[in-house]
Amino acid sequence: MTDERAAPPLQPLCRSAELAERGRAVLFDLVHRGEPMRGFALRIDGRVVAYLNRCAHRPVEMDWQPGDFLDALDQRWIVCSMHGAHYDAATGRCAAGPCAGGALTPVPVIELDGRVCWQPGADLQPPPGGPR
């Protein structure tokens, strides 16, 4: 027996050119397990990664200014602005801080033909009214 449910359509996130290597993140809205929240996408070592903007320590957004997540030294770490948790930007794993051993929630992304999209799933849905 096959699963005949259609996969949710890819959601547009941004143009590839908007994501500079280890630069400012692009923020986007989504719904996680029924709760509206924001995600963010970065380009790390040429690859686009995206996570929920929610710290593993406390359920708060982490950016210092909108889209400003990375450490000032070498832009390797996503640093939570609340208590300084350090997440590996490439994997989302917390390496230091009050949630060491924890991890950010990844959002699946696809980059194709100069565009970046994210893939909805059971826990991740587009916001009502479409992308913003």
Sheet architecture: strand order including 94-96:
77-79, 86-88, 94-96
Cα distances (Å, whole numbers) of residue 70 to 24, 49, 55? 8, 13, 14
- In whole angstroms, the minimum distance from the beta carbon of 59 to ligand FES comes to 8
59 or 108: CB nearest ligand FES: 59
User: Which one among 8, 60, 96, 121 touches ligand FES, defined by CB under 6 A?
Assistant: 60
Using the rule CB under 6 A, is 54 a contact of ligand FES? Answer: no
Using the rule CB under 6 A, is 85 a contact of ligand FES? Answer: yes
Residues 44, 73, 54, 121, Cα dihedral to 10°: 0
Using the rule CB under 6 A, is 55 a contact of ligand FES? Answer: yes
- Of 15-23, 52-60, 63-71, 124-132, which part binds ligand FES (CB under 6 A)? 52-60
Looking up tokens 């692009």, which residue turns up?
26
Using the rule CB under 6 A, is 100 a contact of ligand FES? Answer: no
Q: Which of 37, 128, 17 is nearest to 27 (CA)?
A: 37
9 or 66: CB nearest ligand FES: 66
Using the rule CB under 6 A, is 83 a contact of ligand FES? Answer: yes
61 or 111: CB nearest ligand FES: 61
Q: In DSSP terms, which residues pair with 37 in a beta bridge? A: 30
Alpha carbon distance 38, 96 (integer Å): 23
94 or 109: CB nearest ligand FES: 94
